[in-house]
Chain A
Amino acid sequence: MTDRPLIYPNELPRPAGELEALQAAWKLPRGWRILSAVNNTVIGYFYIGTALLFFLLAGVLALLMRLQLAVPSNTFLSVETYNQIFTMHGTVMMFLFAVPAVEAMGILLLPQMLGARDQPFPRLGAYAFWAYCIGGLIFFGTLFFDLAPSGGWFMYPPLTGSEYSPGMGADFWLLGIGFIEISAIAGAIEIIVGILRTRAPGMTLARMPVFAWTMLVFAGMIVFAFPAVILATIMLELERAFGMPFFIAEKGGDALLWQHLFWFFGHPEVYIIFLPAAGMVSMIVATMAGVPLVAYSLIVVALIGTGFFSFGLWVHHMFTTGIPPLALGLFSAASMAVAVPSGIQVFAWIGTIAAGRLKFNTPALFVLGFLFIFTLGGLTGVMVAMVPFDWQVHDTYFVVAHFHYVLVGGMVFPLFAAFYYWAPAFSRTQLSEQLGRWAFWLMFAGFNIAFLPMHLTGLLGMPRRVYTYPADVGWDELNLVSSAGAFLFALGVLVFLLDAVRNLRPSLTETAGNIWKAGTLDWINNELYGLRSVPIVTSRDPVWDQPGLEDDIEAGRYYLPFTYSGGRETIVTATMDARPDYLLRLPGPGWTPILAALFTAAFFMLLTAKFVTVAFICGILAVTMMLVWMWGSDPAPLPPVDIGKLVVPTYRSGPDSHSWWAMVIIILVAASLYLSFVFGYVYLWTVTPQFWPSPDALPAISKPLTAAALILASSLLLFVGGRWLGQKLGLSVMLLLAALAMWGAIALTLESLWRSGFRPFDDGPSAMAYLALILQAQLALPLTVMAGFTLARQLTGKLDPVRRNVYDNLALLWHYAGAQALLGLALVHGFPRMVG
């Protein structure tokens, strides 16, 4: 415990009208215009509400399945309906509930926890939410038109190829989910930059709440994991729509390539879902025990370790595919190793409970329930990591039981704990303790009654994804018990809903407050503008350790108790030590994010339904909306501002700018996507050697060399252009030439491949060569639009040697695209020559 500071950044009393100006800047749009709101609290509410809606919808699907399986040879659901339902249950729970729900918690809680006024990119956050909400609802709606996918949530080809799944269902999955993942990535960018650049002054990385650490690892994992499955969905959609045979064995593709790409995403996905939930548990345990978290540093190390390990064990979903024993051993070892970080966290929580006195309330109950269920799920996880054991239980109800223990135990129980825990911070009244206990015990009992017997059902030989089963095999009673448990669990959820309807009164200004006596900033009275003034944080649990903090913040004695520009603002701080860096002006409400999301969703869904023209019109409208919103960003620098005995600039460029960080993360996403492609290319070469072109069949080496020269020239032009900002004609010519060179390289490579007789439909390797070009064009297209945008900024005088973020970010992505193109050329034209 430290003493109150002797000197505060700002003096009292605060000038009249200061608070009113702050309130005016952060005022919410009224009535239905609330849909144009972009600040994190409103979007956070919407986000959580939508995620919960999908939880209920997918839960209803689960109940339908349990009804069907309650008795053998049941005809309640037809085969096709059941197959669609289990596919949708898995897909919706994973993509439309679990990831968005934790992302939503991050969007809602992080700014408060970190002492920021809002997320750094409010409109991006709003766009990500609306894209997910609209796209998700349409995707779910396919179920009512018999258009839902039925290939299982991991969509293994060739079953999901056009030959065995001719309808539109698989396309809805590929385009719908691919697009919703893009929205998840947008959220991840927001979260990373928010955590790294908008922490309260003094909140070094080591003073950051564990929840923020988990969200940082979560978002980082999204950046590296999701691109793999996005690439996979692009490939399968190209195969389905245009016949590029990536996964068709007889044409030199390979079905297992999908599995590698999918699980490279799919395994980290489990931890992506679990880690933030573990972060919530850490927050709740510390508060309810009334002591700081034990072994904070070990937990942080464990989180980062989990993040790394989880990328090294995707093959543990493929133990039965006939992979050589050595590889099996490696991945088996990695799968076990990942249990260690979870062990650290479990014992850290136990230690924290031991250090304090746990209050036995509903959040604590859910946490204890989580500990039991998740530990059991972890233990069965170790079991399935044992290769021979997995040979028996893989794809059986044992695995169904295992991953429900991990996911429901590891994510749903903590989420409900979080609902009960954080409700007082966001609602006028807390949730009912009595109903909460009912909800917990019903869910806990129901869950175990439903899923514990499934371990045995699986060992007795029942495979998963069967719409029914014969009567005499010994699975009847176990299934009936599981079905009963599922309904008990649903009853628990219903009690929670009842509680929410009766007691949850969401409010943005008046809340029940810090009833648990928690120690972190999220419990200090929050208004629409966040905290009244942004504190200097000197501890991990500032409310506990900094006496009078709450009053001082409320009085406005800390940083930025006012609005400088009259609009929304927050302080950007340095990544490591959180020293105030500059004042970031934030946008207010606007219609562009929701409209852009609407048109993006329309683009993807109409494309799936093969309304190509209308789809492209919507696509153009979506891009237009984004350009309109981008036009308003990067405002002209204002004179530096004194935020409280500290003068900071209002504009930064280069690595100091928060937008630079976002661009770097975008590049990391693109690079992960491309590296997945490189992996796919080399992998295919190892499994289908007979389909690979001999080096002499390739285009003459002069062609790729010319293309490489064009790419280098294009990058050079951009580099030089950075020194010519403000020279309208010169810069225009340079950008034009650079774009021409970039497209010229693509055209030249395309032409040389085609002339040499390669056709994308003929075989896997050719399809891969063209895919390199498609991925390049996928960057070149937005780059061209951005170049036009940059030119427009230049011509309207919104770009100069100081106000240069638009150009710098363009150049950054441009150079990356060049590097990617060179790698692609080396791969397609160099690799076969080198090895063959």
Chain B
Amino acid sequence: MRHVPTGLIVLFAGLLAGCQAEQSALAPHGDQATEIAKLAWLLFAMAGAVLAIVLAAVALALHAPDRVRKRLAGSPAVIVGGIAFPVVVLTFLLVYGLSLTASESRGGTADLRVEVTGEQWWWRIAYPGQNGESIRSANEIRVPVGANVEFVLKTADVIHAFWVPSLGGKVDMVPGRTNRLTLRAEREGIYRGQCAEYCGGPHAWMGLTVVAMPAADFADWLEAEAATSLTPADDGAWAGRELFLGAGCGGCHTVRGTNAAGSIGPDLTHFGSRRSVGVDTLPLSPENIARFIEDGQHIKPGNRMPPFRIFSGTELAQLSNYLAGLK
């Protein structure tokens, strides 16, 4: 019997080897995810064993000699197979599961506290600054490797769920409540997450990126993130800045260091340093920024930014270059 579950695991592992998922609960890069992945393998092994036992019992009931079948055909067999056997297996699992629940719920002391607010359909992010102010950002979270990061999870509208499978389990963001989740990235890397609770409209495109970087790099980065936006490097970018302000982008977006101070959409102060446009919908590039400005409703249908088809080709290029330059 024992080789069956092992075979199953080999089969699953084989399937896994083929995919380079940066969003997999079975490819853990954080300690919570590692613990849960261990649990998952244990559960798969158990499930495989139980399934094998049940199938074997069916096979015996169908084809075994009468002597064996007689043993199966009675209340004692039902009590052993249907009560005693599950009770033993389930009790073991329960004890293991509860102790893991307890240890993972405690979370430990937080080295860094990041506030994440779910919005339809993006993530508002705030890091603590040195003087107690908060450093605002959006859609991409950076964390130091090895640090216990406590995520303070809220929502601005409907229920969302914060989930980065490679680092740990998910927690809902519920109106009127503040949930907390402590995760620790074990190694450098870029981990994809996604809103896991259906939140209407383009829920499918509410992705999230977590970048785990060495602690020293993180400190530098956070300092840069706290600063105001870069001044445009050339005339084209200056023109782009004028367009940005003139077309009313500041009504929704903030670019610190300019008049743009809107708080409806993602903060764009250091937009150019992020990896994606449209909340993990397109890779960041001036062309994709331009596409999203003009045609965001086709790229991410239902998102709350209206299409801006008021620019000429040159203007659009200037505007997207300016934004891409906001490192």
Contacts and interface: CB of A to CB of B under 8 A. Distances in A.
Given A320-B169, A337-B90, A459-B165, 10 more contacts: A150-B200, A164-B120, A322-B171, A332-B97, A386-B93, A388-B104, A392-B33, A465-B203, A469-B204, A473-B23
A156 interface: yes
B15 A456 contact: yes
Interface in B16-73: 16, 19-26, 32-33, 35-36, 39-40, 43, 46-47, 50-51, 54-55, 57-58, 60-62, 64, 69-73
Given A332-B101, A343-B86, A383-B47, A159 B81 contact: no
B158 interface: yes
Contact of A343 (B71, B83, B177, B179): B83
Contact of B86 (A340, A389, A391, A396): A340
Interface in A286-331: 291, 294-295, 298, 302, 320-322, 325, 328-329
Interface residues of B, number: 92
B138 interface: no
Contacts of B86: 339-340, 343
B200 A343 contact: no
Interface string A345-374: 111101111110010000000001001100
A254 B61 contact: no
A354 B201 contact: no
Interface stretch (A75-83, A171-179, A195-203): A75-83
Contacts of A325: 101-102, 105
Given A322-B177, A376-B51, A466-B204, A298 B78 contact: yes
A392 B169 contact: yes
A387 interface: yes
B1 interface: no
A380 interface: yes
A347 B77 contact: yes
A11 interface: no
Contacts of B82: 298, 302, 340, 343-348
B326 interface: no
Given A320-B169, A382-B47, A351 B98 contact: no
B78 A351 contact: yes
A380 B94 contact: no
A151 B175 contact: no
B198 interface: yes
A465 B198 contact: yes
A158 B172 contact: no
Contact of A379 (B47, B120, B207): B47
Interface residues of A, number: 84
A590 interface: no
B314 interface: no
B36 A347 contact: no
Contacts, number: 277
22 contacts: A79-B302, A298-B82, A321-B179, A322-B172, A332-B98, A343-B86, A347-B81, A348-B82, A354-B77, A358-B61, A388-B104, A389-B97, A392-B168, A459-B40, A460-B25, A466-B204, A469-B204, A470-B280, A473-B22, A473-B192, A474-B20, A688-B176
- Chain A binding surface, main DSSP class: helix
A395 B202 contact: no
Interface string A687-707: 010000000000000000000
Given A156-B159, A325-B105, A379-B50, A355 B73 contact: yes
Interface of A: 78-80, 83, 150-152, 156, 158-159, 164-165, 248-250, 254-256, 291, 294-295, 298, 302, 320-322, 325, 328-329, 332-333, 336-337, 339-340, 343-348, 350-355, 358, 368, 371-372, 375-376, 379-380, 382-383, 385-396, 456, 459-461, 463-470, 473-474, 688
B170 interface: yes
Given A336-B90, A350-B57, A382-B47, A322 B74 contact: no
A466 B163 CA distance: 15
A350 B75 CA distance: 11
Interface string B76-97: 0111111101110010011001
Interface in B215-254: none
A832 B305 CA distance: 46
A413 to B, nearest CB: 15
Contacts of A347: 57, 77-78, 80-82
Q: Quick one: which of A254, A337, A346 has the most chain B CB within 10 A?
A: A346
Given A295-B78, A463-B163, A336 B94 contact: yes
Contacts of B174: 249, 255-256, 321-322
A158 B25 contact: no
Nearest to B54: A375
Given A460-B23, A469-B204, A395 B73 contact: no
A167 B312 CA distance: 36
Contacts of B39: 386, 388-389
Given A158-B175, A336-B94, A456-B12, A388 B35 contact: yes
Contact of A80 (B78, B93, B94, B302): B302
By Cβ-Cβ distance, the 4 closest A-B pairs, closest first, are A391-B169, A249-B176, A461-B23, A355-B73
B183 to A, nearest CB: 11
A350 B72 contact: yes
B284 interface: no
B114 interface: no
Contacts of A382: 43, 47, 90, 93
A410 to B, nearest CB: 14
Contacts of A459: 24-26, 40, 165
Contacts of B192: 461, 473
Interface string B197-211: 111111110010000
B139 interface: no
Contact of A388 (B97, B199, B302): B97
B169 A165 contact: no
B117 interface: no
Given A358-B62, A375-B51, A328 B101 contact: yes
Interface in B153-196: 157-159, 161, 163, 165, 168-172, 174-177, 179-180, 192, 194-196
A393 B97 contact: no
B301 interface: yes
Given A336-B90, A347-B78, A159 B73 contact: no
Contact of B165 (A250, A328, A345, A392): A392
Contacts of A254: 176
A461 B194 contact: yes
Nearest to A456: B15
B197 A354 contact: no
Contact of A353 (B36, B61, B97, B170): B61
B61 A354 contact: yes
Contact of B172 (A302, A321, A386, A393): A321
Nearest to A383: B43
B264 interface: no
B43 A389 contact: yes
B58 A350 contact: yes
Nearest to A296: B75
A320 B173 CA distance: 9
A571 B77 CA distance: 40
Contacts of A352: 73
Contacts of A322: 171-172, 174, 177, 179-180
B16 to A, nearest CB: 8
Contacts of B301: 78-80
Kindly name the residue among B64, B80, B199 whose own CB sees the greatest number of chain A CB atoms within 10 A: B199
A395 B83 contact: no
Nearest to A250: B176
B198 A152 contact: yes
Nearest to A353: B61
B51 A391 contact: no
Given A164-B158, A473-B23, A474-B24, A329 B204 contact: no
A379 to B, nearest CB: 4
A254 B176 CA distance: 8
